[in-house]
Every structure is written in C-alpha cells, then in structure tokens.
Amino acid sequence: MFAILSDIHANLEALTAVLADIDRHGVERIVCLGDLVGYGPDPIACVDIIRERCAVVLMGNFEHVAISEPGRFSDSARHSFDWLDRLGGYKERLPFLANLPRSHQEGGFLYVHGSARNPLNEYVFPEDICNARKMERIFALVDHTCFCGHTHIPGVFVEQSADDLYQFHSPEEIDYVYQFDSRKTIVNVGSVGQPRDSDPRAGYVLVEGELVRFRRVEYDSETTIRKIRDLPDLDDFHGDRLRDGR
C-alpha cells in the first residue's frame, strides 16, 4: 500500500495528522505531488518532514514561483514569498526545492502537480468534464492512470467511452473508494493543508492494488489559524478559509 499527498501549503498541524493516519495503515511508500510551501505558517518544518518521509517529491507551482519569479504573484501572495525569503533556514532548503522533478512515472502511474499537459500550472477542475477538447488533450498524455493535485479538490476523472461523456466523481459520491477499470483515469488526491471542497479535514489518498481510498483527517486547524493571524506577513484569509475548507 502506498500514500499520495499534495498541497501541504506549510500547514504543519494538517501534515502531522495525515502522517499519523498514514502510519496507522502500514503504508510502505509516500509520494508527494508538490506545493509544500505558500499560504501557511510552517514552511521550513513541512519541507523537512516531507523530505524525510516521502520517497518521491514533485515540484508544485509554489516551489516553482518561490525559486524563480515571486513578482508574478498577487500582492498578498508576494508578501508571503518575501516573508519566506527572510525566514531563517529557508535559503538552505532552496537547492532541494529547486531540484524537485516536475513529473514522475512509476509502476504504470504518472504523477504530476497540475496536469499531464502542464505538470506545474494547469488546473483540471470538476467542471472541465464539459470541456471535451481540454480533457481529450490531457487524457491523450495519460497511459492509464495519472495522480494530480493543484486544485485542492479531490475526486476521480474518467475518460469518455463510446456512449458516455467524461465523468467526475467526488469522494462522497463513490463512498471514498474508487476501483480502477480499463478506462483511463485521473485521480486528484486533494489537499493536505488547504482543502477547497467544503470539507475542512485534511485530505490524501491510499492506493492498494486497484483501489484508491480517499482519506479525510481531522486536525487542529485552530492552531494553524492562530499562527497565521500572529504572522503579519501572512494574509488572515488563508487561515480563516481553513475553517470551511474553501
């Protein structure tokens, strides 16, 4: 059994709770799909833990911006990158972040942060199933199964078959378990540190054989929210949104 997590966003309380859940399941290997930093109050601790615990760590768009072009971000996000830059220990961790791969292929699975077409930056939202052209191009680059993050919205995209359109299944709809079949599939593993599907619990997936299990884990979000409020360089909104998972 292995675990896949994404979008930690410097939320140490959520990451700690997810790793405790992972440790209860006899997981052999953890893959992280990126966005370790940004938004949250504990980037250094989260980078160190992910580095130690994960067999594979991909670059997210946040790592990419942090190492290359913070100027491109909005004011409040740029502010948080300036803060990151001044943070003790951050510069020492930059070479690790700068050298993360953008995609990984192993055991018939493709792993990316965004999409198979644009591993760093492309969002694939549930409503994109109505955009057949977009989905067709992305699925064309997937052999059978792709795992991604980036939207912070977990779920399963299934390719179009002869009499069916593209489908998206939210974890609740499928009782938090999906079984692969012969159709191509893209699994969004959701977000550890900033879920945006109206469920504030930290999210990740466990994979065993043909089964994907969507896990949701309660964590002490009030501590994270308080830490964000106490840091003037971080926008309070990034804390407040954790309460409702938006």
Strands (DSSP E) along the chain, which ranges? 2-5, 29-32, 56-57, 103-106, 109-112, 145-148, 155-158, 167-169, 177-179, 185-188, 202-208, 211-217
Q: Pick between residue 49 and residue 174 the one whose CB is nearest to Fe ion.
A: 49
DSSP characters over 49-79 = HHHHH-SEE---HHHHHHHH-GGGS-HHHHH
Q: Closest CB to Fe ion belongs to which residue?
A: 35
Smallest gap from residue 77 Cβ to Fe ion (A): 11
Do the Cβ atoms of 129 and 167 come closer than 8 Å?
Answer: yes
Q: Pick between residue 93 and residue 150 the one whose CB is nearest to Fe ion.
A: 150
Distance CA 152, CA 180 (A): 21
Q: Pick between residue 7 and residue 122 the one whose CB is nearest to Fe ion.
A: 7
Tally Cβ neighbours within 10 Å of residue 143.
11
Smallest gap from residue 151 Cβ to Fe ion (A): 8
Distance CA 187, CA 147 (A): 5
Provide the CA 205 distance to its chain's centre, in angstroms: 10
Smallest gap from residue 152 Cβ to Fe ion (A): 6
Smallest gap from residue 191 Cβ to Fe ion (A): 6
Which residues are at the interface with Fe ion (CB under 5 A)? Answer: 7, 35
Q: Pick between residue 152 and residue 184 the one whose CB is nearest to Fe ion.
A: 152
Q: Pick between residue 166 and residue 200 the one whose CB is nearest to Fe ion.
A: 200
Smallest gap from residue 60 Cβ to Fe ion (A): 6
